[in-house]
Every structure is written in structure tokens, then in C-alpha cells.
Amino acid sequence: MFMNHEELTMSGVFRLICGLMLLVASLFSQYVQAETCQGNTGQMTLNFQNIKYLPTLRVNTQMSSIMPVNGGGIRFTCDRQGTTSLWKKIVYQQMNTQGGQIIDGHAVFNSALPGIGYSLSFQCDGGPIHFLESVGSRSVTVCDSTESPSMLTQREVEVKAWVTFYKTADIQLVSNNHAFANTLANVGNLSMTYPNAGGNGDQVSRPVILDLAAMNVDIGSRGSCSVTRASIFVDLGKANRSDFKGPGTSGGSAAPFSIPVYCATPTDIRIGFFATPATTGATDTLDITHFPGGADGVGIRIRYGDNGGNGPVKGTSVTLNEPANLPVVQKVPASSAATAVPVNFMAQMVQTGSTVTAGRANGTATFVLEYN
């Protein structure tokens, strides 16, 4: 009986130890198989097309459209070996903060070419575009699973980068029509953050370091043309909220206006418009000034007017913040030299938001002449 009792006791102890071993093994297995996420590269150079600098554009003005860089994007891959993370986010950290200032709501920093600043923006899998809005805060979340739940189940998340350039001062010319600057290294980095295996802290992927590619800048001509009026007021009239039927629809009537251009010699005239877009990525609608009691959910679209067959077809939308490849809008023949030639346009209110709020809608755009 004593032997049986001892065997039972040993058997009970063995089962207890076995249970403890299984429990430890289970916990250890979860830790080993926790999800791990990393960028597919440790460093990437952000390449972009050549940009054009117009000498007559005023300082602290957007000088290019928002341009996509690196068509393939920046990818983060998660092995998903263990339990899928409860949340994930990708954060951009600005490292080069020289010359930081705010222009049109964007944090703008010095490029490698004095007089030109840049702002980087990021987009995840077709979602909203995010960018730094303060020079005091050097980081911004560009992807968040609370905004894009598909991040939690995707093996790979792609981040697209965009760059916008701004004129911050006059720049030095090379051969009167060109400027060049070398690559600007380590302007910032991207990393993914997610819960660690124990759920009691965060795990951060190795950062993907971003460099800004070498810059080639074409310089627009100065020429001998001028505008006979320093500023032009355009009365857009009134529009009813019921005129707007959804984003992209117009309200009220198109208001015609002219820019009188004086050229001393025969030439072809091109005019570019520069303004804060109504929405990020918008190319043909400028934003209105926002203030308490003012209108909201609308912007202003500028179109070409009738210029006697010398320019784009009447009603064609003007592309904002695009100094390169500007179309000829008017020709000044020898018979019209030394007199003011009108260049005709139209402006109209356009719905940009899901709803329209009534109020005053004021907007400002800068136009720049280019001529041969």
C-alpha cells in the first residue's frame, strides 16, 4: 500500500510538472511567432522631374505642383507569423530642419539649392495624403490602421511619397538659364510602429532613410513684358447653395477677367497661376480664405477665356502651380507692340467638400508672365 501511495504521488507530481512545461512552451511559442514588420530597403533616394523657376514669382510661393516620386513607392512587409497586431502606424520623421517655415499650411525646409524649399507628403494605399503642418513637430503619422483597417491584414503596405517645391528667395543662375544642386542626404525617415509580442510596449521597425535627389532647375525668361496693373479684382458674384450638386460642380456664373500685358517687342505670352490648392493634389481649383462666418466646402476654378484662337480653347481649366510647359495664351505681333494686350480668363466657384456652407468666399492667386 505504501508503494502504491508513493507511485500515485509521483504520478501526480509528474502530471503537474508536465502541465507547467506545456504552459511555458505555449507562452514561449507565442513570443517567437510574433509578427515582425520591416521596410524593404534601408535607404531610398526620392527622384523627381526637373522643375522650373520663374524669376518674377514672389517669394514664399508654391512654385511647382505636388509631384509623385519613386513610382514604385516605399514598402513595409510584415511576416504575419503570429497573431496579427491590434494596430499599426507608419510615421515620417523630418531630420533636416534647416530653414523651416510654414507656407500655405505646409512645413517647408531648405533644399540643397538656396532659394528653393521643399515639403514632403505621403500616401498609403490610395488613402489621404499627409504632410507636416508645423516646424515645431518634426514627425507626422502618414499611415494608421484606425484610418485604414486593411493595414492589419495586409502582408505589404506601400507608401507613396510626393514633393512640392516653394520659392523662398531669389536663386543664383548658371549660364543665365539653369541651376543645379547635389543630392540632399537624410532629409527624413519612415518607420512602422506596432505592439510588441507581450502587448506591454511598442516595436519600431528599422527606419527607411530618405534622400532628396539632385535638383535640375530650368530658369524662365525675364524678357521685356510687364503687367500694367499691380493687382486685379474679380467679382465672382453670388451663388446659391442649391446650385452645387456635389464635389466638382459649379455654382453661380463664370466671371470674366483680363490681364493687360505690355510688351516692348513682338513675343509669345504665357501666364502661370500659383495658389494654395483647394484640396491636397487638386490641380485646377484654388482654396478660399477660411475665417469665422465665411463660406466652406467651395473653391475657385480659373479657366481660359477667348483669346482669339491664340491660346487654349475657351473654358479649358488652368493648371495651378505648373511653371513648366505653359501654353501660349496670346501672341503680341509687331503691330501691337508697345500697347497693352488683354489676356482673357474666367473664374467660378466650385464645390470641393461634401457639403457647402454659405458665407463670403474670397481667394487669392499670383500670376506670373513668361515670354519669348
pLDDT tens digits, residue range 218-255? 877 655 788 877 789 999 999 999 999 999 999 999 99
Please report the pLDDT score of residue 333 as a whole number: 84
Q: How far is CA 75 from CA 71, 154, 156, in A?
A: 12, 12, 7
pLDDT tens column, 15-39: 433 344 433 333 344 444 567 899 9
**How much is the pLDDT for 19?**
40
Cell of 286: 484654388
d(CA 358, CA 333): 46
Cα atoms in the 13 Å half-sphere on the side-chain side of 170: 4
Strand order in the sheet with 330-332: 330-332, 267-274, 366-371
Q: How confident is the model at residue 127 (pLDDT cuts 50, 70, 90)?
A: confident
Report the C-alpha gap between 52 and 122 in whole angstroms. Answer: 23
Q: Is 342 in a helix, a strand, or coil?
A: strand
Calculate the average pLDDT of the chain. Answer: 84
Contact present, 329 and 372 (Cβ < 8 Å)? no
pLDDT of residue 247: 94
CA distance 158 to 112: 27
- pLDDT band at residue 355, thresholds of 50, 70 and 90? very high
How many residues can be counted in the chain?
372
Q: How far apart are CA 144 and CA 150, in angstroms?
A: 10
Number of C-beta neighbours around residue 9 at 10 A: 10
Spatial distance between the Cα atoms of 336 and 264, rounded to a whole number of angstroms: 9
Q: Which value, to the nearest 10 degrees, does the dihedral of the CA atoms of residues 26, 28, 30, 33 take?
A: -130
Quick one: average pLDDT of 293-320?
A: 94
Compute the Cα dihedral for 132, 135, 136, 139 and give only its sign.
positive
Residue 3 has pLDDT above 60, yes or no: no
**Backbone φ and ψ of 351, nearest 5°:** -70, 135
Mean pLDDT of 192-218: 88
pLDDT reported for residue 223:
56
**Rounded to an integer, what distance in angstroms lies between the CA atom of residue 166 and that of residue 172?**
15
The least confident of 6-10, 19-23, 152-156 is 6-10
pLDDT attached to residue 337: 74
Highest mean pLDDT among 42-56, 71-85, 89-103, 134-148: 89-103
Q: Do the Cβ atoms of 101 and 59 come closer than 8 Å?
A: no
Name every residue whose Cβ is closer than 8 Å to that of residue 291 and which is 6 or more positions away in sequence. none
Predicted pLDDT at 174: 63
Bridge partners, 159 (sequence order): 74, 124
pLDDT at 75 over 60: yes
- Higher pLDDT residue, 352 or 217? 352
* The Cα angle at residue 43 between residues 37 and 44, in degrees rounded to 5: 110
* Whole-angstrom distance, CA of residue 218 vs CA of residue 47: 16
Domains of the chain: 37-219 (2.60.40), 225-371 (2.60.40.1090)
Res. 173 pLDDT band, cuts 50 70 90: low
Q: Are 277 and 320 in contact (CB under 8 A)?
A: yes
pLDDT score, position 34: 65
What pLDDT, on a 0 to 100 scale, did the predictor assign at position 23?
A: 37
CB 92 within 8 A of CB 74: no
User: What nine digits make up the cell of 319?
Assistant: 493648371
What is the spatial distance between Cα 179 and Cα 308, in angstroms, rounded to a whole number?
36
Contact 163, 46 (CB under 8 A): yes
